[in-house]
Amino acid sequence: MRRLQLFQSILLPVGLAAAVVALSLVMHQRTFSSVTRLMETAGRLEETQRWFQRAEQCVLELIAPANAVFADWDVASHRGRLHRARLKLDEAIAQGRSYGLNVTRLTRLTEEMAAGADEVFENVMRMREAGADSGAQAEALTAASRAMARADEKQMSAVRELGLLTERVRAEQRNILEEHEVSLQARLTMERYVVTLLVLLALGMAWFGWRLRQTDRALAAQRRATEAAQRERLAAIGELCSSVAHGIRNPLAAIRSSTQLTLDLGKLDDASRARLQDVLIEGTRLGDRVSGLLKMARAGSESFEDVCLQDVVAGAVSGLGPELERLGLTLKRELAADPIVVRGDRHQLEQLVVELVSNAMEHSPRGESIIVACQRPGANGRAVLAVDDAGPGVPDAVRSSVFQLFFTTKEHGTGIGLATVKGIARLHEGDVTLARSARGGARFEVTLPTTRT
């Protein structure tokens, strides 16, 4: 009996305590190993993200020699620059393959960029060899300009492809963090269950909980670092967009002005005039894309102030009356009576409203109305700005892509408007979503944090 009492009072609790402590040690070791694997994976992903920045720079530099040849006509020098840029880009792409990235499409786009640059050089050489033959010179210059425009389009596609690859890497990183978080929460639940059943082992479990909290703090710091890195990458993409846009503007302006001058003063047959009209139309479309890129690249929060959302709507739609009347549309405002105040840039927010209303105008049938509504903040402290139309709506197949930069289903669309809306909303710590209107059309809802109501 005494031995049984000794077992019940000492040996059993000690044995249970030892078992729970051993279990705690095993759980801690697994958590530590998981964190170690997470950190190693995060390090590999961070190295991959640095590769994206290098690859973007290489893409930007690839056709720079072809752009520069229009300034000094030194074909030999710039061909050498192109060769070096191709070698540098090939090395970057090979490194991307070593990271397990699917760079097949990127490789094809860069090869087409390089081919376009070679075509530019060949046409510049033709122009120089033409001597005093102005007709041959003009033909060669036109061919070089078209080749440059095609190369610029491929460059933009390559930048977009890099953006898609970046998003996939980010998604992989988020999945890793989420999987680790789920695993961590499962272990925490198990720990709490053991603590509930074995109160006498609180000290040992408290030690384990302390170590677990340390791990949580390390993960929180890692998440903050990841978010900061994402913001830096977005800023880098903005700088890249600005650089690409500025690089396109000058030769594009020369192409458009020369084309317009030829149309106005040249003696052209109908076929030639039609081809030049196509050049001018496409040049204008590309110019719109460039302007949109610059607007997105220049967006910032330095000029934020308290603004009334109702005043923003009034200022945005004040100049749309003539176009609404021309299209046979009416604009209805459903605004909250009390002021809804947000922190932001008035001009950017007005641009957001103009882009949404303009999009609704393009898709609304004559005789219908467009509704602009401002709803008071809910329990989450966020106001809702909604634009509702009675158009055909957005097909399910493209709903997930409408906010992507350069995505458009219209023949002459730029794919910048809704991407600009999303960028402005995110800059103001908000978001924009696409819903179905009760009238069968599209309803875009922008949520923004408020300062007061």
Question: Is a pLDDT exceeding 80 seen at residue 123?
Answer: yes
Strands 341-344, 442-452: pairing is antiparallel
In the chain, pLDDT over 70 holds for what percent of residues? Answer: 75
The strand pairing partners of 308, in sequence order, are 341
Q: Which of 31-40, 49-58, 361-370 has the lowest mean pLDDT?
A: 31-40
Quick check: 317 pLDDT over 80? yes
Neighbours of 310 (CB within 10 A): 18
Is 148 within 8 Å of 118 (Cβ atoms)? no
Say which residue the tokens 């609404």 belong to: 324
Backbone angles phi, psi at 374, to 5 degrees: -120, 120
pLDDT band (50, 70, 90) for residue 244: low
Bridge partner residues of 432 (DSSP): 446
Assigned token pair, 155: 């460059």
Over residues 200-220, the pLDDT tens digits come to 666 665 665 577 678 878 888
pLDDT at residue 341, rounded to an integer: 92
Q: Is the pLDDT of residue 161 over 80?
A: yes
Residues 6+ apart with CB under 8 A from 374: 309, 310, 313, 334, 335, 336, 340, 383, 384, 385, 386
How does residue 137 score in pLDDT terms, banded at 50, 70 and 90? confident
Looking at per-residue pLDDT, the higher value among 426 and 180 belongs to 426
- Enumerate the domain spans of the chain: 9-271, 305-452
pLDDT of residue 4: 42
Q: How far apart are CA 417 and CA 404, in angstroms?
A: 10
The reply to whether the predicted model has a pTM over 0.75 is no
Range of weakest confidence among 62-71, 283-292, 360-369, 422-431: 283-292
Q: What is the mean pLDDT of residues 342-358?
A: 89
Q: HEC string of the chain?
A: CHHHHHHHHHHHHHHHHHHHHHHHHHHHHHHHHHHHHHHHHHHHHHHHHHHHHHHHHHHHHHCHHHHHHHHHCCHHHHHHHHHHHHHHHHHHHHHHHHCCCCCHHHHHHHHHHHHHHHHHHHHHHHHHHCCCCHHHHHHHHHHHHHHHHHHHHHHHHHHHHHHHHHHHHHHHHHHHHHHHHHHHHHHHHHHHHHHHHCHHHHHHHHHHHHHHHHHHHHHHHHHHHHHHHHHHHHHHHHHHHHHHHHHHHHHHHHHHHHHHHHHHHCCCCHHHHHHHHHHHHHHHHHHHHHHHHHHHHHCCCCCCEEEEHHHHHHHHHCCCHHHHHHHCCEEEEEECCCCCEEEECHHHHHHHHHHHHHHHHHHCCCCCEEEEEEECCCCCCEEEEEEECCCCCCCHHHHHHCCCCCCCCCCCCCCCHHHHHHHHHHHCCCEEEEEECCCCCEEEEEEEEEEEC
Residue of higher predicted confidence among 256 and 330:
330
- CATH (one of 1.10.3720.10, 3.30.565.10, 3.30.360.10, 3.40.50.150) for 305-452: 3.30.565.10
pLDDT at residue 82 is higher than 70: yes
Q: How far apart are CA 119 and CA 126, in angstroms?
A: 10
Confidence of residue 12 (pLDDT cuts 50, 70, 90): low
Around 166, how many Cα atoms within 13 Å sit in the side-chain half-sphere?
Answer: 22
CA atoms within 13 A on the CB side of 252: 22
Percent of the chain with pLDDT over 90: 13
Average pLDDT rounded to a whole number, residues 361-376 = 91
